[in-house]
Amino acid sequence: MNPLSRLLAEKRASGATILDLTESNPTSAGFTYPADRILAALADPRSLCYEPAPAGLLAARSAVSGYYGGRVDAARILLTASTSEAYGLLFKLLADPGDEILVPRPSYPLFDFLAALESVRVVEYPLVYRLGIKSAAGAHGGWSIDFDALARKITPRARAIVVVNPNNPTGSYLKKSELAELTDLCRRHNLAILSDEVFSDYALADDPGRVASLVNVDDVLTFSMSGLSKLVGLPQLKLGWIVISGPADVCKQALERLELIADTYLSVGTPVQWAAGPLLALRENMQAQILERVRGNLVYLESQIGRDSPWRVIEPEGGWYAVIQAPRIYSEEEWVLTLLGEHDVLVQPGFFFDFESEAFLVTSLLTASQIFQEGIRRILARAG
């Protein structure tokens, strides 16, 4: 247990009401799910039969293909129980024990565990943040990949580069110019790309310079991952997928090997596969609710931080999180412990996501608006 989780357990045991600004479970964030439609989708009588299919049932893969608007043939899709499982399968496919996978920093903390479980080494490459003006031609400021640093991190044991698009928690998308540089680097070093696109439908502003998905990258072996968890706000149903793209012969071989790995587990349940079509059809409804919440909370947060404030919002381009830069009167750890200990507000410290410097606080924009607003009021009142 770390000091924050210890304090949280003590607080909860003492009966304190915590304002949890880290809520990232959509099923407990107060959204209205079309329960009847979800349950009806899961009651398909075809689920009573077991037809093992390593890549997943064609009906489900076709539904995922439909999500991509026909740009992705079902033959290039392999179903998994989740995106986390997809990472595990891909690490097995691409890396031997001791091989290296490059992952962005700051980013989603699960990589270390997922890689360690496959005996693969994680090597971090930096994303850098620049202040700047946004123009119609695309963002000049914001987060970008430090390609010089990334290139320096590539060793003969490197097997793949992970991009999280948009990234958690920075909310930054890959840009078209970056994709060109990335594919060039991967071609030269014979590396695959793993693109985590679970939040790609949650763009918070338009940007023509952005790459929404890597599903049609054709010159480098690329695995684009997503799933119902974020796309429809249904993490409990356990359906994710991998889209494979790249040079035809390499793709064919990768798909055959992935099918062999998936066949060893056959982990995707039959009911959710038959339900994939109707469940994906719910995404418009669920995404509208989620985006309204996320945008509303972000607008509120920005409205509370004036020009002369010692606080700053690191504006996200997409996703469910907002990073707040806090005044350096405390370290990150002191901030999160003070906010929880004295103000009953739970936020995550930047170091959970390996931010390069301090002090950053990470909040989930999925949090119910009343809780979010009261939590933000208490946070900002602590220094200002």
Where do contacts with ligand PLP occur on this chain (CB under 6 A)?
24, 82-84, 108, 164, 168, 196, 198, 227, 229, 235, 240
CB of 164 to ligand PLP, least distance (A): 5
CB-wise, 154 or 268, nearer to ligand PLP? 268
Q: Which residues contact residue 190 at a Cβ distance below 8 angstroms, ignoring those fewer than 6 apart?
A: none
Q: Closest distance between ligand PLP and the C-beta of residue 236, in Å?
A: 9
Relative orientation angle of helices 270-280 and 58-67, to the nearest 10 degrees: 30
Q: What angle do CA 325, 331, 337 make, to 5 degrees?
A: 95
At residue 154, what is the residue type?
I
For the record, the structure tokens of 24 come out as 């990232």
Q: In which element (H, E) is residue 362 found?
A: strand 360-364
Indicate the residue among 42 and 383 with the shorter CB distance to ligand PLP: 42
Q: What's the closest the beta carbon of residue 46 comes to ligand PLP, in angstroms?
A: 24
**Which CA distances in Å does 6 have to 12, 112, 337?**
10, 22, 10
Shortest Å, Cβ 240 to ligand PLP: 5
Please tell me the distance from the alpha carbon of residue 185 to that of residue 189, in angstroms, as a whole number: 6
- Compute the least distance from the CB of residue 84 to ligand PLP, in Å: 4
Q: If you search the block for the tokens 């502003």, which residue do you land on?
A: 205
Q: Provide, rounded to whole angstroms, the least separation between the CB of residue 108 and ligand PLP.
A: 4
Taking the least distance from each CB to ligand PLP, the nearer of 269 and 327 is: 269
Cβ-based neighbours of 8, under 8 Å, separated by 6 or more: 18, 340, 346
Q: How far is the CB of 320 from ligand PLP (least distance, A)?
A: 8
**Residue 242 identity (one-letter amino acid):** I
Q: Is 269 helix (H, G, I), strand (E, B) or coil?
A: coil
Considering the complex, state which of residue 258 and residue 337 has its C-beta at the smaller distance from ligand PLP.
Answer: 258
- Confirm if 66 and 280 have CB atoms less than 8 A apart: yes
Report the residue number, 145 or 380, with the smaller CB distance to ligand PLP: 145
Q: Which is nearer to ligand PLP, 82 or 144 (CB)?
A: 82
CB 83 to ligand PLP: min, Å: 3
Tokens of residue 64, six digits: 């995922």
In sequence order, which residues have a C-beta less than 8 Å from that of residue 384 and are 6 or more positions away? 309, 310, 311
- Residue 210 burial by CB count (10 A; 0-12/13-18/19+): exposed, middle or buried? buried
Determine contact, residues 202/291, Cβ cutoff 8 Å: yes
Q: Which is nearer to ligand PLP, 106 or 235 (CB)?
A: 235
Choose between 95 and 164: whose C-beta lies nearer to ligand PLP: 164
